Amino acid sequence: MSDSELQDFRRFLESHGADRARWPAAERLRFATLLSSSAEAHRALADEEAFDAVLQSAPGVSPGDAARAADRLMARLPNAAATNVVTLPRAKPMARPHARSRSGYLEAGLLAASLMIGVLAGTGGYVDTSGLALLASNEVAEADHGAIALGFDETAATEEDLL
């Protein structure tokens, strides 16, 4: 055994730790001879095992904290499920055309029915059309078209009058 080999072993332990099951196969083989013949190598390994044990005493999350986190997660779950439904690609093409075609038929039917009623009412004399005749005689045309269109009120004071 050489000093450099022992140094290599110490350096290897510094990064890999003492758990031989986790060492790469090549290093397990390489250091097996050293460990069988060197008390110093054995001591270095034992020290590293002790340090691994110290590290393993690091605390984890308490069962209470984990349970509370699980409860919060489950409370959020219905929202997550709703999001899933919205993002499913099959939802859009399935629903819309069907609904649109139904409402389209209904609107067309109502329009046709109202047209028929209008025609029947007009031709059967159920509607007073004298107002229409008045419009046709242009009596309304005597009024000032511009004033009607612009909404002028001749009785109201203008801004110029006030000044």
Partner 1 sequence: MVSRKEARVVTLAASLPAEDQGDVGRVVSGGKASGAVQEGDSALLARVAREDERAFRSLVDQHMSRTLTLARRILRDADEADDIAQETFLRLWRKAAGIDVGPAGVAPWLRQVATNLCLDRLRQRGRLEVTDDLPEVPDAPRQLAALEARDLKSRVDEALMRLPERQRVALTLFQYEGMSMAEVGAMMGISDEAVESLLARARRSLKVALASEWNELKRDGA
Where do contacts with partner 1 occur on this chain (CB under 8 A)? 11, 14-17, 19, 21-22, 46-47, 49-63, 65-67, 69-70, 72-74, 76-77, 80-81, 83-84
Alpha-helical segments (H) within 38-144: 39-56, 63-87, 91-123, 130-136
Question: Which CB, 6 or 17, lies closer to partner 1?
Answer: 17
CA angle 15, 31, 57 (to 5 degrees): 40
Q: How far is the CB of 84 from partner 1 (least distance, A)?
A: 6
Question: Which CB, 47 or 144, lies closer to partner 1?
Answer: 47
Q: Specify the amino acid at residue 33.
A: T
CA angle 140, 117, 127 (to 5 degrees): 40
Q: How far is the CB of 20 from partner 1 (least distance, A)?
A: 10
Q: How far is the CB of 16 from partner 1 (least distance, A)?
A: 8
113 vs 87, 102, 120, 153, CA distance in Å? 41, 17, 11, 42
Q: How far is the CB of 98 from partner 1 (least distance, A)?
A: 25
Question: Which CB, 13 or 34, lies closer to partner 1?
Answer: 13
Closest by CA position to 56, among listed 21, 85, 91, 17: 17
Question: Which CB, 25 or 157, lies closer to partner 1?
Answer: 25
